Structure 1
């Protein structure tokens, strides 16, 4: 059963099995894959109690890593339903995660490291003192003032044109 892909039904059975095995309590909600997740391994929905798992993690790192992600999400699930600390910063969450050997963070998917940050494209310049503020996105300078002297700002493209 070392397949790199599986259906939502197989994922549901797997999550139910892990819940009973690691937590001793059944998982009574829905687990499904969501291919749109890009920077996270999975997520837990507090209102519906459903869990979504990133299928790219399964393809890239296999079942053992995804099992740790499932345990992470099940910690959120079971702690939330019990009214205990279910957030990442809570001691209950950290203790349960350690006990069931879940992952604190998922591995970075191949290709995500290659993304470069966008360069600065705009510059705000104070009309009074000349203080410069670099920005990646265009913004309306009429809504802002200089943090140094309080004067108006002027927006320039980094090539120098207004």
Structure 2
């Protein structure tokens, strides 16, 4: 599918589902990795991740387009266009768009946990990012921190 074909599909879905025209650009963006699509607030364009079409098919693509068109039309009307806004949630439900897109195979779904301990008072710290132990100290006693271990969990585990 080309960008011109995608543009035509987006314009058609906009008229059919929203009864409003889509007057900006829609195109495939090869740099998108973790999301199905993106609505650009400044330019009002819509980027789509081609991998979702390749991996999940046309139904998933149509769902992503509906989701992004909800952002588009609500933003242009001055209504709540963000994911948490009630306007967005109700319009999304009305047009049958998904709240989230499916996961792509091979996308990193792991959660990293770093465990530190204070060498002075024994307080344990759990962090997502590494801490520079030469620069940062324990918040309770100002003791030296030491990395105990790094645990990598699949999402869904705790």
Q: Tell me the TM-score normalized by structure 1.
A: 0.81
Larger CA Rg, structure 1 vs 2:
1
Distance 1:8 1:59 in 2: 14
CA contact (8 A) 1:31 1:50 kept: yes
2:106 counterpart of 1:111:
yes
Count of residue pairs the alignment pairs up = 150
Q: Is the 8 A contact 2:11 2:22 kept in 1?
A: yes
Residue 121 of structure 2 is matched in structure 1 by: 129
Alignment gaps of 5+ in structure 1: 1-5
CA shift digits 1:55-109 (9 cap, x unpaired): 1110111111110110000000000000000011111111110111111110111
Is the aligned partner of 1:18 residue 2:10?
A: no
Distance 1:17 1:107 in 2: 23
Distance 1:106 1:150 in 2: 46
1:125 match: secondary structure = strand
* 1:78 lines up with 2:73 in the alignment: yes
In 1, distance between residues paired with 2:18 and 2:121? 62
Query: What's the CA shift string for 1:85-140, capped at 9, x where partnerless?
Result: 00111111111101111111101112226x544464xx543232122335565432
The answer for unaligned runs of 5 or more in structure 2 is: 151-158
Match of 1:43 among 27, 30, 38: 38
Q: Which has the higher strand share?
A: 2
The answer to whether the Cα contact below 8 Å between 1:58 and 1:66 also exists between their aligned partners in 2 is yes
Q: How many Å separate the matches in 1 of 2:147 and 2:100?
A: 40
What is aligned with 1:3?
none
**Structural mapping, 1:24-39, within 5 Å:** 24-39=19-34
| Cα RMSD for the two superposed structures | 2.3
C-alpha contact 1:144 1:152 (8 A) present in aligned 2: no
Q: Write the mapping of 1:97-108 to structure 2, written as runs, cut at 5 A.
A: 97-108=92-103
The aligned counterpart of 2:141 is 150
Q: Normalising by the residue count of structure 2, what TM-score does the alignment of the two structures yield?
A: 0.82
- Partners of 2:129 and 2:82 in 1: how far apart? 32
